[in-house]
Amino acid sequence: MTRESVATKIASMRKILFHDVDGCLNTPDGASLPFEVAQLQPTQRNALGQLGEVLDKSDIDVMVLNTGRSIAASIFLAEAINSQKLKYIVAEHGAAGYSMDESSHLDLVHYAKDIPHLHTAYSGLEKILALMKWYEEDGAHLLARKIGHHVVASPKKANLTLRVPENTFGDEMLEDLRRLIEQHSPVGGDYLVYHHSVSDGYLDVTAEVDKGDGVQLIRHLESTQRIRTYAIGNGSNDLPMFQHVDVCICPSNSDESVFDFCEANNGLISTHRFIGATLDMLGKALPTVGSDLLIPM
């Protein structure tokens, strides 16, 4: 098949963009978006609105917010983007889903039933619910004795997420939390994944579900049509998402592990930071292969 015929074939596919939030949708000056539902600053609202306008004019058919945030916080940002092409939210590191068109939550366990390895992973979410209940009733008090702070869990449905208090070392707090879970929680330490978002100052304890599983589920939902997939992310927790798309893209403020993955897999390393990388990418013709989109640093 010639390069021209490959390009024609790909151009006829339905194009889906999976997009991280934190570190990717921040305004170009780096101002962080509010983690929960809150008031956006005018520059933040303008930047998200501009994204919606550029997205609507782009070659992308479907955009998916793929984030560690809660569904509620993600819907808040999706409404600010205000694009008809933003169809889905995959939140809490792949553990929760939402359809913007239907204004309803997605039953991810149900959608995973035809994919054995995903169904096993999503069935494990019940253990996280038990863990979150334990943390509310006992774990928070036990952790407070260790770190000197009482930390309330973020209002999520399928991740245990804790903000790292000021003057507290996140890695040490994570190890304290891990030991408490292994020794005192009803689920022990099995089938749990621990993550420290250093730049955002949060700890997450999740089931063996990640952003890559969310990609696979959305691909399954869209599988009635031939699709071409893209992903934008800047952190190590975005790597599972990258592993399940055709073209990976990272802004210039990405972690070193993300740069390495993009370089090794013919992805895009943008010269733009944060939301500027997305606006730049959407303003160009989408690539037929990853290397077509590569921009030297």
Same domain flag for 60 and 90: yes
Q: What percent of the chain has pLDDT over 90?
A: 70
CATH code, 269? 3.40.50.1000
Same domain flag for 7 and 89: yes
Same domain flag for 34 and 166: no
Same domain flag for 72 and 107: yes
Each residue's pLDDT tens digit, 138-155: 999 999 999 999 999 998
How confident is the model over 125-147, as a mean pLDDT? 95
95-98 contact pairs (CB < 8 A, 24+): 95/122, 95/125, 95/128, 95/157, 95/158, 95/159, 95/206, 95/207, 95/209, 96/70, 96/71, 96/156, 96/157, 96/158, 97/214, 97/217, 98/71, 98/74
Each residue's pLDDT tens digit, 217-236: 999 998 777 899 999 999 98
pLDDT of residue 37: 77
Same domain flag for 225 and 99: yes
How confident is the model over 276-283, as a mean pLDDT? 93
Contact by Cβ (8 Å): 121, 211: no
Note the pTM of the prediction, 2 decimals: 0.85
From residue 30, alpha-carbon distances to 8, 43, 81, 133, 234 in Å are: 38, 11, 18, 35, 13
User: If we measure between CA atoms, which residue out of 126, 129, 141, 208 comes closest to residue 177?
Assistant: 141
- Residue 58 to residue 99: CA distance in whole angstroms: 21
Q: Tell me which of 207, 226, 245 is where a domain ends.
A: 207
Same domain flag for 135 and 278: no
How confident is the model over 47-66, as a mean pLDDT? 97
Same domain flag for 202 and 144: yes
pLDDT of residue 11: 60
Same domain flag for 15 and 98: yes
Same domain flag for 170 and 231: no
Q: Of the segments 8-17, 64-73, 185-194, which one has the largest average pLDDT value?
A: 64-73
For residue 25, is pLDDT > 80? yes
Using N-to-C axis directions, what is the helix angle for 125-134 and 116-123, rounded to 10°? Answer: 10
Same domain flag for 107 and 49: yes
Same domain flag for 216 and 163: no
How confident is the model over 13-40, as a mean pLDDT? 90
pLDDT-derived band at 290, boundaries 50, 70, 90: very low
pLDDT of residue 78: 97
pLDDT of residue 283: 86
Q: Tell me which of 169, 191, 207 is where a domain ends.
A: 207
Of residues 112 and 295, more confidently modeled? 112
Full residue range of the structural domain in which residue 52 is found: 3-121+209-293
How confident is the model over 235-250, as a mean pLDDT? 94
- Count of domains observed in the chain: 2
Q: Tell me which of 181, 207, 233 is where a domain ends.
A: 207
Same domain flag for 105 and 229: yes
